[in-house]
A and B are shown apart, each in its own frame.
Chain A
Amino acid sequence: MMDIPRLHLIGPLGVVKPVEFLGIATRAAAGGCGAVHLRMRDLSGGDALRMARSMRRELAATPGTRLIINDRIDVALLSGADGVQLGERGFDVADARHLTGERMLIGRSIHDVDGAKRAAEAGASYLIAGHVFDTPSKEGEPGRGTDWLAEIASAVETPVIAIGGITLDYLIEVLSTGVHGIALGREFLGADDPKMVAERVQRTMEQEGTHGVPE
């Protein structure tokens, strides 16, 4: 089993065009971003595969960065991705594992302690938990907060990645909950230089200890 990345970039989120996202993700990867996620719900299968293959090519220069495809396991298999991210109402982990084989990472998005425990038991490689703070992509649904996040992180052995409205200002607060890492979207997409964002996060994570264990 490969190591679970600590910094994840989530895109393209409909905020930037797919082609722009390729550039942003490449810069983030150059700064040490460990995983790039492609959410392509609005794309046709053909476009999703083209996007995933382009991203795979762009990431060839940074072999340490994992390419993760949301939900479409077929696109993940065909693009040579390193993993799949399953929505809470996506494939079961066991069904996904059957298709991916042992090689791929399988992440599960969760929104409560029960969901986290179920996903951990089902053998997810890591969990993405959120949303932690208010975020424009979840309008009308307030963030669940860092106490909630700490509860999730302590409920399972599986690495937890925090998501949702996280900005660099909140980084230490989020890491102090005991999560393994964080997922950023807008913080990267809106940055002048995504490479610098990734470097700054990496530095902070190193200072905060290997697995973000609270002091």
Chain B
Amino acid sequence: MSVTNVDRLTSRLACYLVTDPAVESVERLVEIVGRAIEGGVTTVQLRSKGWLDRQALDAARRLRIVCSEQDVMFLVNDRIDIALASGADGVHLGVDDLPVEAARSILGPDAIIGYSPETEEDRERAVRDGASYLGVGPVFGTTTKADAGPALGLPAFRQVVRSVDIPVIGIGGIDRSNARSVRAAGAVGVAVVSSVFFADHPATAAREIVEAMR
């Protein structure tokens, strides 16, 4: 990736919204994402685990449009086919998903491929295989993912950031009270799930996080 592209990726990773598949409808999903973008979200990742493929593709296409209108990056979790069919900027993969190297072989050199490593080995392999950025966490305790493991804490998070030469975002238990500390530990951005997605006012919740990081 060229320097310009890395700068662009870094700025777009600042406030990263992960959608929750438990949302009641595609309409509601699009509405929440629209609000969150108003509040300053710079990347949206669609999670559609358990959904029918047609519904997931419909959601992806609608989010692609909403994001493009505001120059927001749009990524699809796990499903490379849905990413391709919706024209997403790329995918985000976890350790149980399709391998980074496989995703890169289909999506080509310009696609954004994010990866959530669990071990140091995962992390190094992902960087070698062409991951664009890493999502690392849980930085703090979280209730969203029961299987997310114990919190890393800021010192360990800072070490991970230092150990790789691609951008890192923090995930897990991040809200307006601690977003700044994650940035200070070297993250180019923070990922938020429930604190924005299920907030009464997603725009306000996103804005508070963006402002907290300034």
Contacts and interface: CB of A to CB of B under 8 A. Distances in A.
A87 B55 CA distance: 12
Overall SS of chain B's interface:
helix
Contacts of B95: 46
Contacts, number: 56
Interface in A81-101: 86-87, 89-92, 95, 98-99
Contacts of A95: 57, 85
B46 to A, nearest CB: 15
By size class, the interface of chain A is 20 to 34
Contacts of A44: 96-97
Contacts of B79: 45, 72, 74
Nearest to B54: A89
B87 to A, nearest CB: 11
Interface string B93-114: 1011111001001100000000
B153 to A, nearest CB: 28
26 contacts: A45-B78, A45-B98, A47-B96, A49-B99, A71-B53, A74-B79, A74-B84, A74-B98, A74-B106, A75-B98, A77-B106, A78-B98, A78-B102, A86-B53, A87-B52, A89-B52, A89-B53, A90-B54, A91-B54, A91-B57, A91-B81, A91-B85, A95-B57, A95-B85, A98-B85, A99-B85
Interface of B: 52-55, 57, 78-81, 84-85, 93, 95-99, 102, 105-106
